[in-house]
Amino acid sequence: MVISTLKCLLLSYILRKGNVSLSPGTQRCSVAGRMERQRANMIRGQVEKAGKTDFMTEADNQHEPVASHEAEGRDLRRIPDIISLVKDSYAELSPAERRVADVVLDDVKYAVDASNAAIAERAGVSEPTVTRFCRAIGCEGVRDFKLKLAQSLVVGALYLAKSPAISNDNGMPFWNAVFGEARRALQEAERQLDPGELQKAAELIAKARQVTVFGLGGSSSALAQETQYRLFRYGITVSAQCDPYLMRMTASTLKPGDLVIAISATGRTREVIEAVELAKHYRANAIAVTAPDTDLARACDVRLTVAVPEYPDTLKPTASRYAFLMMIDLLAVASAYKLDGSARETVRRIKYNAQIHRTGKEMEPLGD
């Protein structure tokens, strides 16, 4: 039956192209072919309308999840920051709608889980007022509002929590946390850093024709610049790149004997990893200053790694910077000891010309 239908469809196609006249038997075949095409189109339309995939081919099934996942990712990225919308729209809301906003902002997780009636009861308003509030900030209704509100929790409840109550004598609850976390970060660096890996890294720096440092983002960009400032004073040819496109361009120019130092607090920054892989393709060496067991660490020849758990106060700067600064200082000093005489002469020249430029004491910082 299937073969017969296919023959009819093929013959019908040939006849349409060539305007060939039909015999009575062939006409029946052509009519059957048209009917079969109409039936197939009808079925296809029903499937598309229902949104089902029962009639998809194996190849379609293989590609469909990828497309759906990509679309889902795009949809999530399009969801606005609803908490900011509530705060920005607060002054334009009616007094009753503001009471709903207060309930939402006071406990976002509760607002996501609670029913419309429960939110209305806690705010002291009617249920239609909750619906009006949702529409006033640009949502289609309560359900749409809760979907967007749930998405806002992706950053974690820490970023929605209120500041702790002041309990210290100096009136600053963060005082002990900032100093304590900095000390802990340095202790973790001393405990976790492998001296053998540090020596290997110093050897690579001392022998390198040129060194380029990669780092993206607020902390890693500053650390990349700091690495450049630490190394150049020993006579090492070094530059820092903090732009992803320039990193790729620089990696493309590297040759055997050149060296990349890649810095990333997470070890997951894709642009940095790809730049390192590109440099490795051109046979440059690579040192990672990053977290352990990460893609960046695995991509490099030498791994200087440390993991510092973060303190649960989102307003406090990350303490892992101190651990990374310590690793950079150790790396710079170890490289200087490998270079020895030439490094000392370069430092002497810098100090001599700094002293001529401005008066000062011998043991002052080399820079300013």
Q: What is the CATH number of the domain that holds 350?
A: 3.40.50.10490
In a shared domain, residues 196 and 140: no
| 362 found inside a domain | no
Q: What is the pLDDT of residue 368?
A: 57
Alpha carbon separation from 108 to 146, 158, 159, 160, 200 (Å, rounded): 10, 12, 11, 8, 50
Give the model confidence (pLDDT) of 213-229 as tens digits.
Answer: 999 988 899 999 999 99
Place of tokens 């630490």: 230
Question: Would strands 285-290 and 211-215 be described as parallel, antiparallel, or unpaired?
Answer: unpaired
Which residue would you say has higher pLDDT here, 26 or 215?
215
d(CA 161, CA 170): 23
Q: What is the pLDDT of residue 155?
A: 62
In a shared domain, residues 86 and 57: no
Residue 17: Cβ-neighbour burial (10 angstroms; 0-12, 13-18, 19+): exposed
Amino acid at site 4: S
| Number of other residues whose CB lies within 10 A of the CB of residue 327 | 23
Write down how long the chain is.
368
Which residue would you say has higher pLDDT here, 105 or 289?
289
Amino acid at site 315: L
| 75 found inside a domain | no
In a shared domain, residues 336 and 191: yes
d(CA 54, CA 294): 41
Residue numbers of the domain that contains 86: 82-157
**Mean pLDDT of the chain, nearest integer:** 79
| Model confidence at 207: pLDDT above 60 | yes
Which among 28, 58, 19, 43 has a CA at the least distance from the CA of 5?
Answer: 28
| Model confidence at 264: pLDDT above 50 | yes
In a shared domain, residues 205 and 130: no
| 168 found inside a domain | no
| 291 found inside a domain | yes
Mean pLDDT for 51-55 is 36
| Range from 45-49, 120-124, 177-181, 361-365 that averages highest in pLDDT | 120-124
| 175 found inside a domain | no
| 24 found inside a domain | yes
Residue 153's pLDDT band (boundaries 50, 70, 90)? Answer: confident
3-state secondary structure of 236: coil
| 275 found inside a domain | yes
In a shared domain, residues 210 and 97: no
Answer with the one of 28, 61, 94 that is the final residue of a domain. Answer: 61
Which residue would you say has higher pLDDT here, 2 or 223?
223
Percent residues over pLDDT 70 in the chain: 69
In a shared domain, residues 328 and 213: yes
| Model confidence at 142: pLDDT above 60 | yes
In a shared domain, residues 277 and 351: yes
In a shared domain, residues 144 and 111: yes
| Model confidence at 192: pLDDT above 70 | yes
Q: How far out from the chain centre does Cα 15 lie?
A: 59
| Model confidence at 199: pLDDT above 70 | yes
3-state secondary structure of 357: helix
pTM (2 decimals)?
A: 0.62
Mean pLDDT for 12-25 is 48
DSSP collapsed to 3 states, 243-285: CHHHHHHHHHHCCCCCEEEEEECCCCCHHHHHHHHHHHHCCCE
Residue 201's pLDDT band (boundaries 50, 70, 90)? Answer: very high
Which among 268, 272, 270, 265 has a CA at the least distance from the CA of 308?
Answer: 265
Which residue would you say has higher pLDDT here, 51 or 184?
184
| 259 found inside a domain | yes
In a shared domain, residues 212 and 349: yes
| Model confidence at 4: pLDDT above 70 | no
The answer to whether the Cα torsion of 157, 313, 315, 306 is positive or negative is negative
The answer to whether the Cα torsion of 240, 245, 246, 252 is positive or negative is positive
In a shared domain, residues 188 and 307: yes
d(CA 152, CA 140): 17
Cβ(82)–Cβ(149) below 8 Å: yes
In a shared domain, residues 208 and 302: yes
Which among 154, 90, 41 has a CA at the least distance from the CA of 33?
Answer: 41
Query: In the chain, how many domains are there?
Result: 3
Question: Would strands 238-241 and 259-264 be described as parallel, antiparallel, or unpaired?
Answer: unpaired
Give the model confidence (pLDDT) of 304-318 as tens digits.
Answer: 999 988 766 767 778
d(CA 260, CA 274): 12
